[in-house]
Amino acid sequence: MSAQIETSTLPLRPILLGLRRGWDENVLAWLIAAITLLPLAVVLASLLQPQADIWAHLTEFVLPGLLVNTVWLVAGVGLATLALGVSLAWLTAIYDFPGRKYFSWALALPLAMPAYVLAFVQIGLYDFTGPVQTLIREMWGNSHWVPPIRSRGGVILTLTLALYPYVYLLARNAFQTQGRRALEAAASLGLSRRQGFWRVALPMARPWLVGGVTLALMECLADFGTVATFNYDTFTTAIYKAWFSLFNLTAASQLASLLVLMVFVLALMEQHVRGDKRYTASGRLAHGRRERLRGARGALAAMVCLFVLALAFLIPLAQLLWWAQSVAVDQLDLRYFGFIGRSLLLSAGAALLVVLLALGLAYAVRRRTSLASRVVARLATIGYAIPGTVLAVGVFIPIAWLDNRLVEWVHALGWGEPTQLIKGTLAVMLLAYVARFLAVAFEPTQSAMQRITASQEEAAASMGLGRRAVLRRIHLPMLRGGLLTAALMVFVDVMKEMPITLMTRPFGWDTLSVRVFEMTSEGQWEMAALPAVAIVLAGLIPVILLAWHTEKHT
């Protein structure tokens, strides 16, 4: 009888084992997604518990100015990055002129310079007491006709120069993948090259352009350092002031919830603009000849590219190096090396943690190829579209609540009288980094994971290897390049990141980005240049690799 029972239950064993494995993978994916979803839920939950006095104050004194400033900023940066990025992309993708080969990748270099670094360099260069206006006064007597850099236009110009590469890279890829056939089709209809651009190439590139502009606007809404340097109030600066100046975490969460809603509206608008249309490539332009610009036209094209590159990267970098060398002797002490050491330690630790979680999420999605798993992956990586100030508030509130409960419990047990246990630790920072940058590591990890075929896994399983052995001996060696790319990108992003580090760091845990913020807040541009140079040099590595890879395949 017992033998019959054992025999009858044997077929259930693989079913139960499969359910357990599927459950484990689903739980893993949801646990990783919770790191992002919990802070967002906490912030949005503040809308369900409005406080009349806070909202009355915000509505009367805060929100009108914030909304006006934000609308101007989003509209100005969106239009300017679109115009500049598309123009440069069309010029380098369709035409050939002196220096085109170098400009095609060099125009992406401004991505290596954080917008907040470019901001204080612009002010230092073009303010009334800066070298540019000083030279103008020496040559022409006065500089009153020069537009002030400390203005709304100055903020828009700075963010445009910092963010246009998002549009440039995607638009250039679009123009290259459309190839000669699109332009030839326009020519067959009797259209000139310029008419072909407006009526054929530009409409076909719409998905890429919308994606690039959306990325630029997401970064614009998330920016804290640039607008703080210009003293231009937006939601990010208001959240910071509510928390650290007014000591009102509730008001900070209320403002953060509004900013989250704005980000969601922007994402919905992107989907609406894209629509359900599909665009197919019609050949690669690289397989054909570009139109050669000769004489004055070629020189003008090269001058335009050089002017933009100089304004956005070369001149600011030269100014940073000049300032840095002037203070390097006094500043390069043990305290400064502490800034570097903490930045490297924090960036490396965050990169390792984020890449491990990205690998776990990619593996779970691969094992459970269903709509639910794709939805979980999308939810887990939505944090990259959320400003760092919002995530800092969303992570800190539940951590503070848990910390208070733990302190009460410790007091009740008589184990001492600590004031905090979790707050003010690196764990808070790392959780916020995971929520913010998981998407950065997930995309290259998942792309590398997709290159591993099912037949390779089946062959390993036929040799008696379990899931862990397959992951260790098959997946990890083949994922090495993707994981290295992911780690490098997260490392640089954490090195540059300012609001999360500024708002959640332990007491005295100053990094290079915090040092930049403190010095620029006091107007000490030379003192801020040294840490800024280190950040820019770290950011150059992935940007050069990305630009080189893009140019190599075009």
In this prediction, residue 273 carries a pLDDT of 66
Total number of residues shown for the chain: 554
In this prediction, residue 460 carries a pLDDT of 61
Structure confidence at residue 272 as a pLDDT band (50, 70, 90): low
Query: Mean pLDDT across the stretch 545-551?
Result: 62
Least confident of 83-87, 268-272, 409-413: 268-272
User: Cα-Cα-Cα-Cα dihedral of 505, 509, 514, 518, to 10°?
Assistant: 110
Structure confidence at residue 93 as a pLDDT band (50, 70, 90): confident
Give how far Cα 452 sits from Cα of 21, 373, 480, Å.
Answer: 20, 19, 12
Question: Is the confidence at residue 16, as pLDDT, over 50?
Answer: no
- Taking alpha carbons only, the member of 225, 117, 171 closest to residue 554 is 171
Cβ atoms within 10 Å, residue 242: 24
Burial 498-516 (b: 16+ CB within 10 A, else e): bbbbbbbbeeebbbbbbbb
Cβ atoms within 10 Å, residue 429: 25
Least confident of 25-29, 196-200, 385-389, 486-490: 196-200
Q: How far apart are CA 512 and CA 313, in angstroms?
A: 20
In this prediction, residue 158 carries a pLDDT of 96
Name the residue with higher pLDDT: 423 or 435. 435
User: Cα-Cα-Cα-Cα dihedral of 218, 222, 227, 229, to 10°?
Assistant: -130
Question: Is the confidence at residue 186, as pLDDT, over 80?
Answer: no
Using DSSP's 3-state secondary structure scheme, residue 436 falls into helix
In this prediction, residue 18 carries a pLDDT of 46
β-partners of residue 291 are 95
Task: Tell me if 242 sits within 8 A of 255, measured CB to CB.
Answer: yes
Amino acid at 107: L
In this prediction, residue 463 carries a pLDDT of 66
Q: How far apart are CA 254 and CA 234, in angstroms?
A: 14
Using DSSP's 3-state secondary structure scheme, residue 96 falls into strand
In this prediction, residue 155 carries a pLDDT of 96
In this prediction, residue 69 carries a pLDDT of 94
Query: Mean pLDDT across the stretch 40-58?
Result: 81
In this prediction, residue 451 carries a pLDDT of 66
Query: Angle at Cα 44 formed by Cα 39 and Cα 46, nearest 5°?
Result: 105
Query: Mean pLDDT across the stretch 352-376?
Result: 81
User: In this prediction, what percent of the chain has a pLDDT beyond 90?
Assistant: 22
Q: How far apart are CA 72 and CA 75, in angstroms?
A: 5
380-402 pLDDT per residue, tens: 888 887 888 888 888 988 998 88
The alpha carbon of 107 is separated from its chain's Cα centroid by a whole number of angstroms, namely 18
Structure confidence at residue 17 as a pLDDT band (50, 70, 90): very low
Burial 439-458 (b: 16+ CB within 10 A, else e): bbbbbbbbebbeeeeeeebe
DSSP 141: S
In this prediction, residue 333 carries a pLDDT of 75
- Best-predicted range by mean pLDDT (173-187, 223-237, 450-464): 223-237
- Taking alpha carbons only, the member of 46, 56, 61 closest to residue 255 is 46
In this prediction, residue 388 carries a pLDDT of 87
In this prediction, residue 322 carries a pLDDT of 92
Please write down the long-range contacts of 3-6, taking CB distance under 8 Å and 24 or more positions apart: none
Question: Which domains, from first to last, does the chain contain?
Answer: 24-552 (1.10.3720.10)
Average pLDDT of every residue of the chain:
81
526-537 pLDDT per residue, tens: 899 999 998 998
Phi, psi of 523 (to 5 degrees): 75, 20
Structure confidence at residue 63 as a pLDDT band (50, 70, 90): confident
